[in-house]
Amino acid sequence: MVGATTLKPGEDTTLALPLLMGMHQGMEGLHVFAVDIRSNDPVDPVKTLRWRFNVKEGQP
């Protein structure tokens, strides 16, 4: 992460995950990507977000 991001009470921010080239051939199968969000939240200092998809060969 470049620098620290601070959110005031009530503020929000967007975490964007672009995968615009997609998954190439040979990468078929179930995939789960996870992003750990670390913060000074005293109750939940590490929050994990997950992105799940199953790659199959062929056109949509």
Partner 1 sequence: MTRLILLVAGIAALAIACAPSAPAKPTPTVPLSQAKLAGTPALAFDKRQVDLGIVAQDQQTTQTFLAINLGGGPLKVGTVSVKAEQGCDVAEAFTKGTDDLKSEEAGLVFVKFGPHQKLGAHRLNVSVASNDATTPVANLSVSFTVAESAARSQAGPRLRADKDIIDIGTVPNDWPFYEEFTLRNEGDAPLNLTGKLEARVEEGC
Write each residue from 21 to 60 as x if it is in contact with partner 1 (CB under 8 A), else as -, in one continuous string. xxxxxxxxxxxxxxxxxxxxxxxx--xxxxxxxxxxxxxx
Considering the complex, what minimum distance in angstroms separates the CB of residue 19 from partner 1? Answer: 5
Considering the complex, what minimum distance in angstroms separates the CB of residue 41 from partner 1? Answer: 4
Structure tokens at 14: 């967007």
Please give the C-alpha separations between residue 17 and each of 40, 41, 44, 58, in angstroms, as whole numbers: 23, 23, 22, 23
Decide: 27 and 43 in contact? Cβ < 8 Å: no
Considering the complex, what minimum distance in angstroms separates the CB of residue 21 from partner 1? Answer: 6
Chain residues binding partner 1 by CB under 8 A are: 1-44, 47-60
